[in-house]
Structure formats: structure tokens, C-alpha cells
Amino acid sequence: MPRNFSCYRTLGLAVLVTLLQACSDPKSSSTSGPDGGPVPTSRMTIAMKVESGDSGIAVVRATLNDGSALGDSYRLDGGDFFRACINGVCRNMADNDSLDSPDYIARFDYQSGVYYVVSFNRQQAQNAPDSRATLPQAFTIVTPANHQQVTDGETVLVSWTPTGAPARASLSYTVDCTLLSGSVVSSGTLGTDANADGRESVRINPIVDSARSGAASPITRCSIDVTVSHELQGRIDPAFRNGTALGIVSRVVNLDYIPR
């Protein structure tokens, strides 16, 4: 049975439309263009991201697609490759073995205020040597304490220093709840620090309710990870059709939820 048919058969009709791309094979960067030649760089959209967490490692990622919501992604072949550099240290970016949307990565030490540069190098089409992003300054979550216990009806002040400005600060969560019948995991966004003061109030009830809506039995406890992310916009090489370049530093604090 073809892989694509098997993938589609397991999906409900409502999600099938939005997941067509995830079930389709990536296209060749060197043979999927006009007349079987390379895809022109000017028809490609790049998604570049540099991310660093508590480990002190910066992970540079890059993917290519045609810019359409349900369009094609591209696997590099025929001599095409990504290369990432910082302060004169360069590494070829390796395919992260993704089946559907090839994800090319390289790892470096964390450094803020300097450019991580991704070059797209091609044998038979236009190069795009200068997509770049910088990482925001490192920061520390001050409150709440890690593994602080919380319960229904509480609001927790999440604060950090430095505030990260002018980087955009946003909060998100992942909640993993234990039930009498098993477990359920949910995630979502908590908004942005619009006034850049390095603090946001987080209500516990909506987080737990997001997991409770999918629970088949009462919740006995939850582990809540609240992530604070600082994000700076970079720039993409003009040879591409379009794209994004982001530098993101994140920190996580864990909360232990016990129901009343």
C-alpha cells in the first residue's frame, strides 16, 4: 500500500485538507524545476531559525518550500547544500532525517549580538549566501520558583530579567496531566509582554481546562511547563522568493498542579 494512502486513510476528513503537505513527499531541489532542472531560488521560500535554551547551545535550522500553504517542501540534492557560520566558524547543515519536510540543522555555542549566517549554495542555480539572525541576550526567570505548587483559581506572576527589550517576549505552555485512566497533554499560547516590563500574570485554570477538555476521567495532578521566549527578527537573502529569519532564546519554569 502506498505510504501516502496509508497516511491519508488514518486522518479524519476535517484534518485531511490541512495535512496534505505533511503526507506528501518532498520535492528535489535540483530536478523539480522547469523542464526537470533545478527549482529557481527565486521560487523558494526559506524558514530560518536560530534557537537557544538553557543548554548554552544554539541550534540553527533551515527549511525550504514553495511558499504555499499546502505546497511543496524541498530536499536538497544535486550539489545543493546549506552552510551556517558564526564569527568565522562554519559548518555544513545536516538533514535531520525528517520524512516529510526536510529540516537542515547545525549546532554552535550560544552567542548573543552576533550574526548566525545561513548560505544556500547551488551547483546549477542562483546562490543565496546571506540569510542571517542574531540571538537575544540570555535571561533568567525570577518567579515563580521551579516546581512551585499551584491549584485551581490561582494566578502566578511569571517574571524574568533582563526584560529582553527590544526582543519580542511571548509566553506559552505545555501541560501534562495524570488521570485515573491515563494521561493527557495539551499546549497553547499565553500572550506577549506587550509593555516589555519583564512580567506577565498567568492564570492556572485555563491551562488545566485545556487538558481537562480531553480528559476521560478526573485529573489527579498536572505538570505545567511555562516557556518564556525572546525573539528577534533577522533578514533573508533577497535571492529567495520570501521567508523568515528568527533568533529565539527561551527559558522554562515548571509548576506542579494539584486539584483542590
Residues 94 and 196 placed together within one structural domain of the fold? no
Residues 125 and 53 placed together within one structural domain of the fold? yes
CATH of the domain at 159: 2.60.40
Give this prediction's pTM.
0.87
Model confidence pLDDT, tens digit, residues 76-113: 999 999 999 999 999 999 998 776 679 999 999 999 99
In a domain, 6, yes or no: no
Which residue is listed with cell 548566525?
Answer: 116
pLDDT band at 50 (very low <50, low <70, confident <90, very high): very high
Residues 52 and 128 placed together within one structural domain of the fold? yes
Instruction: Give the domain-ending residue among 103, 134, 165.
Output: 134
Tell me the C-alpha distance between 206 and 185, whole Å: 14
In a domain, 241, yes or no: no
**159, 167, 153: which is closest to 249 by C-alpha?**
167
φ/ψ region of 97 (left if φ > 0, alpha if ψ in -120 to 50, else beta) reads left
In a domain, 151, yes or no: yes
Tell me the C-alpha distance between 66 and 232, whole Å: 24
Tell me the C-alpha distance between 167 and 192, whole Å: 11
Model confidence pLDDT, tens digit, residues 4-21: 333 333 334 334 444 444
- Count of domains for the chain: 2
**In which domain, by residue range, is 67 found?**
25-134
Indicate the SS3 state at residue 132. Answer: strand
Q: By the 8 A CB rule, do 161 and 196 touch?
A: no
